[in-house]
Structures are given as structure tokens and as C-alpha cells.
């Protein structure tokens, strides 16, 4: 009787106990092969992965480890720092800080200290990178395990039953050469798996890094719980850089105290909250890398119960990759808050715009767009500050670009007929737009000081309110990051009802650490319910 003619006790063909047992054995072998190969490939891939990212003011390399610690290696001039990570499987990471666009060591360490006082944006960025490496490793493991199973199955079928029977009979009585060859193959495969899977052994004790609690080495550091778990390497770098480290700790302490107290006061500021069907939005502009102000702005936003954020640009100083920390911080503080953004002239280039979009910001592009029931128009500042990398343009190019943007926005806003708010970095991009009466409210920044709110009656009889908000980062010129505000800072709360602006209220932050809200000003736009002309007004060429 052939195998296909075999029957079980129930009369069903092909289901004898031996056949079922063989199927189970085959499935078990395939599962074991898939698991071993896949896990080994995933482990090896993850363990040898590394990613280059920007952290703070540095280009950096992130490598996963199984040390259970996050270790920061800033090079030979500074001691290493490490912090335990509460993760399964003792997963940790090492961050190697590389070069920076900052030329002065004192300025660089001061920036690092301020960024360290507001680290959550950078921590989330690093966590995303490590998670991406883990996901890539897992996918490669799945692919490797699946490929091994496919090869095994194809090979099994290609050999055929008769040839397998012959090989099995020979395996029962192997020759000495076959035994030697098989043993050698097993040893090679075992050694390869050992080198791939088993972690590297520790270095000799004489080369091993010695760690001490940070407070034991620098007893005057601020009383922060997270610092209780930080350890510092002990060696020549630690002894030779004590003055640099002490300066960083002083800057860290000053920054943490100043901006922490500001955020506490911002939680109590007397700002108007929305009533009935109203919604509020917070305007930030010209932050120029000062991430210390982000928790302060968020506290004011929570106090005003905002449902949107308007970012009017100049989040960076030169639009460089190393300034990604500024966008990381803003996105982290206003997570889950819809953000409408326009890059400024210091954000010139593709990097800042790309980062804004990757972080989920609604970046306006000189066309009408509806977000959260509000009709917007706006776009990136077409000028370059002259500080951005690779800039070779002339001042006349910038002037012409501004005029062209103004004409374009005016034409499109008037043709759309439903635009309520224009968001631009500079008021120079909205002179004709403001005069046209085709928008209710024009919000800008760039000047680093408040201008307005002002009312302008357009050629169509409609009223447009315009206002420039002062620098949220307290910037004097192109850079605002520091342990304290360099000049007074500002944000603005805008109130909306049924998609239209109905009120505006700037909030001032002084260099002395006070947070004061200006008087709420209602916005009364005339003839709001009448349709706008469907063609540009005479003032919009």
C-alpha cells in the first residue's frame, strides 16, 4: 500500500500517527531554525548599529549597548557621564559627541549646559533613533529567519525523498572523513554564532573606566533628582577639565533656576481664557535657539487653554543641522497641539522646513490652507539672513523676493475670498496684503519687538488688524540661547470664534524674570459676514 492509500481509524486518508508526528517534527525544526537565525541576526544587527544625528550643538554618533546605561562621551577634554536606563534586557546606548559649528570652546560648553537644562527634546530624539535601530534589527532578523526557512524547505524538496533516504542510510554508518568534515562544520558554525551573539568581554581592569557619583566629584551641583543617578568617569580628563566642568555646572544651575522660576510664574499669569465656542492660539516667533523659553511659552499656553500654536519662524540662528535641538524642543513642549508654521529668514534653506514637516507642523506654502477650522495664508520668508550656510545672494535679491511674495499672497487671498489669518515672518511680506482688506488678521515677527496691533481699512472697505510679536527667545540679534534672557521676550494669545479672530493679548516676559499679560484687545472686523471680492483689489497688482 502506498502512503497516499494509508487511512486512519476514522477512515480518512493521509492522517496516520506517524505522518502527523513527522509533520510536527518538521514544523518544530522550521520554528527552531527561524527563531535561532532570526534572533541571532537581529541581535548582531542591533549590537553593531550606529546612527549619526545632531544633539545639541554637536554632530553625534549613537550606538546601542547592553550596559544598561546611557553613556555620554564628549571627547578627551571632558569626563564621560552615564545614567542608568530602566529598560528590559539591559539595553543602553553610548553617545559620542563629535565636532560642532561653534568655534569657541567656552561658548560651546555654555550652550551645552543650557541645552542640558532643557533636555527632553533631545532625549526624545535619541529614543526615536534607538527605537528605529531596534525596529530595523527586528525586521532584518525576521527576513533572515524567513530566508533560512525558505532555503531549508526548498533544499528539502529539491533533494527528494529517495535521495534523503540514501543520505540517511549513509549517515547511520559514516566514514571517518565524513565525521571529521561534519565536526569541523559544526565547530565553524558554533564559533561564528559565538562571535556574533556573545557580547564582547570586558577590557582588562587597568583599562576599564572607573565611575564615581557626580555629586561626589562636584558637590556644588544643583539639587536635582535626576543628577543623583549620574556618574562621572574618573581619570585625567576629569582632573584636567575641572574648571570647564565647573563652568558648565554653574551655567546649568543658573539656566535651570531662571527658566524654572519663569515657568512657575507663567502658570499663574492673568491671561484671558476662551469663552463659549471660542478657541485660542499661541504665537511664538524669533526663538533663535532659546529652548529655555519653550516651557515658559507652554505654561502660558496652558493657562490660556490654547488649541493651536502659530510658529512665525527664526527658530534657529543660521538654519544649520546642529540646530535641530531647537525644533526638537518646540515639538516636544507642544506635542499634540496642532502647529501652523512659516520658516523665517534665519531658517533659510531646506533643513528647517523639512524638520518642521517631519515633526507634524502644518507649514504654509504661499497658498490658502484650512487648519482646525481656520483659513490661513502665508509662507516662508524668501530672504536669507546672510548668516545661513551657502548664501551668496545680494540685498536687492531679498527686496525683490519680498515684493513678489506680497503680490502673490494678496492675489491668492483675494481670489480665495475666505482667508481669515495671514502668518508671515516679516511684515514686509504683507504690506499690500494688509491694505487689500482680504484678510482679518496679519501676524508677523522678525523685528524682535512688538508693533501694533494696528487697524487698516482696505480698498474693499474691510478692516485688517496687524501685529508683530516680539522675540519669544529674547533675542538681541541672531542668537538667543543663554542662561538668562538677553532682552525682554514675548508671546501672543489670539482668540478665535467660528474661524475668525475676535481678540488678541500679548504676554511680556522681562529680563528680571517677571511674566505680565497686557490688556486683552477685542478685534472687530467690519463686514465680516459679507463675501469678499473674487478678484484682487486695485491695491494688489
The secondary element (H helix, E strand) that includes residue 425 is none
Q: Where are the alpha helices (DSSP H) in 160-281?
A: 161-172, 176-197, 214-217, 236-240, 242-266
Q: Which of 380, 368, 468 lies closest to 420 in space, CA to CA?
A: 368
Omega before 453 cis (within 30°)?
yes
Is residue 362 within 8 A of residue 341, CB to CB? The reply is: yes
Q: Which residues of the chain have pLDDT under 70?
A: 1-19, 21-22, 55-59, 74-79, 87-89, 98-122, 159, 164-208, 214-228, 234-252, 385-397, 525-541
Q: What is the DSSP string of 459-525?
A: TTS-EEEEEEPPPTT--SSS---SSS-SS-EEEEEEEEETTEEEEEEEEEE-TTS-EEEPPPEE---
Q: What are phi and psi of 253, to 5 degrees?
A: -65, -45
Taking residue 399's Cβ as centre, other Cβ atoms within 10 Å add up to 12
| pLDDT at position 389 | 47
187: its cell numbers: 565547530
Query: Chain-centre distance of CA 401, in angstroms?
Result: 31
> For residues 402 and 428, is the Cβ–Cβ distance under 8 A?
yes
Which residues are bridge partners to 281 per DSSP? 308, 494
Angle subtended by helix axes 324-333 and 350-358, to nearest 10? 30
DSSP H/E element including 437: none
Euclidean distance between CA atoms 349 and 26, whole angstroms? 58
Handedness of CA 193, 194, 198, 202 (dihedral sign): negative
3-state secondary structure of 71: strand
Burial code (b: 16+ CB inside 10 Å, e: under 16) for 268-283 equals: ebebbebeeebbbbbb
CA–CA separation, 529 and 537 (whole Å): 18
> For residues 420 and 375, is the Cβ–Cβ distance under 8 A?
yes
| Separation CA 304–CA 163 (nearest Å) | 79
Contacts of 48 (CB under 8 A, 6+ apart): none
Residue 375 near residue 305, CB atoms below 8 Å: no
Compute and round to an integer the Cα radius of gyration of the chain. Answer: 32
- Using CA atoms, how far residue 454 sits from 97, 309, 434, 461, in Å, is 48, 22, 10, 16
Q: H or E segment at 204?
A: none
**Res 28: pLDDT:** 84
282 phi/psi in degrees, rounded to 5: -110, 135
Classify burial at 312, counting beta carbons within 10 Å of its beta carbon; exposed 0-12, middle 13-18, buried 19 or more: buried
Q: Using alpha carbons, list the distances in angstroms from residue 432 to 383, 404, 436, 438.
A: 18, 11, 6, 10
Closest alpha carbon to 263 in 13, 491, 16:
491
Q: In what order do the strands lie in the sheet with 463-468?
A: 369-371, 374-378, 421-423, 441-444, 463-468, 451-457
What pLDDT sits at residue 539?
39
Q: In the structure grid, which three cell numbers stand for residue 427, read together?
A: 511684515
User: What structural domains and CATH numbers belong to the chain?
Assistant: 17-159+201-266 (no CATH), 271-522 (3.60.21.10)
d(CA 442, CA 379): 12
The C-alpha torsion from 220 through 222 and 226 to 230, rounded to 10°, is -20
CA distance 173 to 159: 20
Backbone angles phi, psi at 440, to 5 degrees: -80, -40
Contact 433, 409 (CB under 8 A): yes
Q: If DSSP codes are grouped into helix, strand and coil, which group holds residue 13?
A: strand
Q: What is the 3-state secondary structure (H, E, C) of 16-31?
A: CHHHHHHHHHHHHHHH
Amino acid at each position: 500500500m502506498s502512503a497516499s492509500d494509508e487511512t486512519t481509524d476514522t477512515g480518512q486518508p493521509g492522517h496516520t500517527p506517524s505522518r502527523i508526528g513527522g509533520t510536527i517534527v518538521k514544523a518544530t525544526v522550521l520554528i527552531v531554525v527561524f527563531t535561532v537565525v532570526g534572533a541571532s541576526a537581529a541581535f548582531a544587527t542591533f549590537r553593531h548599529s550606529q546612527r549619526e544625528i545632531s544633539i545639541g550643538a554637536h554632530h553625534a554618533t549613537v550606538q546601542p549597548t547592553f550596559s544598561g546605561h546611557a553613556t555620554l562621551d564628549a571627547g578627551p577634554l571632558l569626563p564621560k557621564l552615564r545614567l542608568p536606563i530602566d529598560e528590559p534586557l539591559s539595553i543602553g546606548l553610548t553617545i559620542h559627541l563629535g565636532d560642532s559649528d561653534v568655534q569657541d570652546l567656552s561658548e560651546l560648553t555654555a550652550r551645552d549646559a543650557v541645552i542640558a537644562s532643557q533636555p527632553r527634546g533631545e532625549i526624545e530624539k535619541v529614543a526615536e533613533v534607538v527605537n528605529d535601530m531596534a525596529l530595523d534589527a527586528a525586521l532584518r532578523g525576521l527576513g533572515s529567519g524567513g530566508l533560512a526557512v525558505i532555503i531549508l524547505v526548498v533544499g528539502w524538496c529539491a533533494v527528494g525523498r529517495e535521495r534523503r533516504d540514501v543520505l540517511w542510510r549513509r549517515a547511520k554508518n559514516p566514514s571517518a572523513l565524513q565525521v571529521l568534515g561534519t565536526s569541523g562544520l559544526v565547530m565553524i558554525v558554533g564559533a561564528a554564532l559565538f562571535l556574533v551573539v556573545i557580547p564582547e568581554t570586558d577590557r582588562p581592569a587597568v583599562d576599564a573606566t572607573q565611575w564615581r557619583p557626580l555629586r561626589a566629584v562636584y558637590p556644588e551641583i544643583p539639587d536635582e533628582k535626576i543628577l543623583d543617578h549620574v556618574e562621572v568617569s574618573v581619570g585625567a580628563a576629569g582632573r584636567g577639565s575641572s574648571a570647564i566642568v565647573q563652568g558648565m555646572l554653574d551655567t546649568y544651575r543658573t539656566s535651570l533656576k531662571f527658566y524654572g522660576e519663569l515657568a512657575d510664574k507663567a502658570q499663574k499669569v492673568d491671561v484671558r481664557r476662551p469663552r463659549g465656542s471660542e478657541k485660542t492660539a499661541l504665537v511664538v516667533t524669533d526663538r533663535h535657539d532659546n529652548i529655555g523659553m519653550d516651557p515658559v511659552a507652554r505654561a502660558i499656553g496652558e493657562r490660556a487653554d490654547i488649541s493651536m500654536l502659530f510658529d512665525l519662524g527664526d527658530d534657529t540662528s543660521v538654519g544649520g543641522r546642529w540646530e535641530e535641538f531647537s525644533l526638537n524642543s518646540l515639538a516636544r513642549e507642544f506635542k499634540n497641539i496642532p502647529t501652523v508654521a512659516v520658516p523665517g529668514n534665519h531658517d533659510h534653506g531646506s533643513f528647517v522646513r523639512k524638520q518642521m514637516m517631519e515633526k507634524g507642523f502644518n507649514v504654509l506654502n504661499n497658498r490658502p490652507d484650512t487648519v482646525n477650522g481656520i483659513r490661513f495664508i502665508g509662507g516662508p520668508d524668501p530672504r536669507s539672513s546672510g548668516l545661513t550656510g551657502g548664501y551668496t545672494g545680494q540685498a536687492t535679491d531679498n527686496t525683490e523676493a519680498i515684493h513678489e511674495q506680497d503680490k502673490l499672497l494678496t492675489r491668492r487671498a483675494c481670489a480665495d475670498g475666505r482667508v481669515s489669518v495671514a502668518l508671515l515672518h516679516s511684515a514686509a511680506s504683507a504690506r499690500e496684503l494688509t491694505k487689500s482688506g482680504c484678510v482679518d488678521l496679519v501676524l508677523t515677527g522678525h523685528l524682535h519687538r512688538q508693533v501694533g496691533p494696528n487697524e487698516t481699512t482696505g480698498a474693499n472697505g474691510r478692516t485688517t488688524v496687524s501685529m508683530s510679536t516680539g522675540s519669544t527667545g529674547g533675542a538681541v540679534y541672531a542668537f538667543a540661547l543663554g542662561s538668562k534672557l538677553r532682552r525682554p521676550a514675548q508671546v501672543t494669545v489670539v482668540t478665535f470664534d467660528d474661524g475668525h479672530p475676535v481678540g488678541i493679548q500679548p504676554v511680556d516676559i522681562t529680563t528680571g524674570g517677571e511674566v505680565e499679560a497686557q490688556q486683552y484687545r477685542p478685534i472687530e472686523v467690519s463686514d465680516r459676514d459679507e463675501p469678499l471680492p473674487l478678484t484682487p483689489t486695485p491695491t494688489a497688482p
